[in-house]
Amino acid sequence: MAQEIAPRIVVDENVRFGKPVIRGTRVPVDLVVGQLAGGMTFAEIADEYGVTREDILAALAYAAKTLEGEEIRAVK
């Protein structure tokens, strides 16, 4: 059963090995962010993966929130 972890973002152990995906799809958040980083436009991603602009924005918001809590320490 899918569990919502952020608006429009869910995890389900039976979908993509429990990776965060856009609700109602099998499209992983990391794929969406990676495609944007690679130069795809919102429209291209929406057409390619059957998601909406709001889904893409939710994926970006989830990624930003996840990174916000990450702590990296410099090692000398």
Q: What pLDDT, in 10s, does the model give residues 50-70?
A: 999 999 999 999 999 999 988
The token pair that represents 27 in the structure block: 């499209």
Domain of residue 11, residue span: 6-68
Please, is 33 exposed, middle or buried when counting C-beta atoms within 10 Å of its C-beta (0-12, 13-18, 19+)?
middle
pTM listed for this prediction: 0.90
| Number of domains the chain contains | 1
Instruction: With beta carbons less than 8 A apart as the criterion, state whether 23 and 4 touch.
Output: yes
Q: Report if residue 75 sits inside a domain.
A: no
Kindly report the CATH number assigned to the domain that includes residue 42. 1.10.10.10
The pLDDT tens digits for 3-35 are 999 999 999 999 999 999 999 999 999 999 999
Q: Report if residue 24 sits inside a domain.
A: yes
